[in-house]
Amino acid sequence: MKQERVNKTFVFATIGMLCAISTAATAVAYPKVARVIKVRDGIAAAEREFELCKKAASSVDAYYETEMPVISASLAKYDAKLPAAERLPELLADVKRACRAAGIAGVSISTQRATPNKLRDSRLSRCAAGVLHKVPLSVTGTSTYRGVAALLNNLAAGPRLVLTNSIIIKQADQRSGLISFRAQVEGYCFLETDRRR
């Protein structure tokens, strides 16, 4: 009986000591465990952010692959519309061709002094062909309202970059129904301004 009481006391004392030791160990280890959990959560968040960045980068790559050919084609189209210095007469010929296609009679084209086109970044207005210049043109002729509308459409859709700034139309002739007009347009081309450059 005595032995049994001693054994129970020993067991309870052992259990108490183990509980005290584990409580103390938990109290000492908790801050370290909390830091480990916090670091692990940070790593998981960083991995999720990395995956999102990878998806965004692949989206940009896909956009670049699909859109770059379209952008390059557009740039090539505008390059073709900007004649170099030796093709300036072609610019005038193209404007005259647009007038003929619209059925304009008595066409007269006069040019004014070309001026360098001011762009925010001056590097964009210079290339191997020279400096991008704006060439003011005055186009006069006789036609119908429909013919003038066709001319404006031809100039906008033509092979050269030509912008129409204004158009003045005189009153139609009562008998023929024809009108006379004067259009102020701008053509763009590259001109060599300094041979030493």
- Let me know whether 72 and 154 are in one domain: no
Which amino acid is residue 117, in one-letter code? N
Rounded Cα distance, 197 and 192, in Å: 9
Domain that holds residue 93: 85-191
Tell me the two tokens of residue 97: 């061709």
Number of CB atoms found within 10 A of residue 15's CB: 10
- 115 plus 149 within the same structural domain: yes
**pTM for the whole structure:** 0.49
Please give the span between the terminal C-alpha atoms of the chain, in angstroms, as a whole number: 116
**Confidence at residue 139, expressed as pLDDT on a 0 to 100 scale:** 92
pLDDT below 70 — which residues of the chain?
A: 1-8, 10-13, 16-22, 24-30, 33, 78-88, 118-130, 191-197
Under 8 Å between Cβ of 94 and 158: yes
| Structural domains counted in the chain | 2
pLDDT, tens digit (0-9, with 9 covering 90-100), for 58-81:
887 787 788 777 777 777 776 666
- Residue 118: its pLDDT value, please? 67
pLDDT recorded at residue 181: 92
Quick: pLDDT tens for 118-135: 665 555 555 555 677 788
pLDDT value of residue 133: 77
Mark whether 1 and 97 lie in a shared domain.
no
| Residue 191, SS3 per DSSP | strand
Residue 90 corresponds to which tokens in the numbers above? 């072609």
pLDDT at 20 (0 to 100): 65
> What was the pLDDT predicted at 195?
41
Instruction: Choose the final residue of a domain: 37, 66, 81.
Output: 81
Residue that the structure tokens 């033509």 belong to: 158
Local structure of residue 167 (DSSP, 8 states): E
Same domain, 115 and 147: yes
Which of 61, 81, 101 is at the close of a domain?
Answer: 81
Show Cβ contacts of residue 166 under 8 Å, excluding neighbours closer than 6 positions: 183, 184
pLDDT of residue 184: 92
Q: Decide: helix, strand or coil at residue 47.
A: helix
SS3 content of the chain, % helix, strand, coil (to 5): 60, 25, 20
Does residue 197 fall inside a structural domain? no
Residue 176 forms part of a structural domain: yes
pLDDT at 171: 75
How many Å apart are CA 10 and CA 17, to the nearest integer? 10
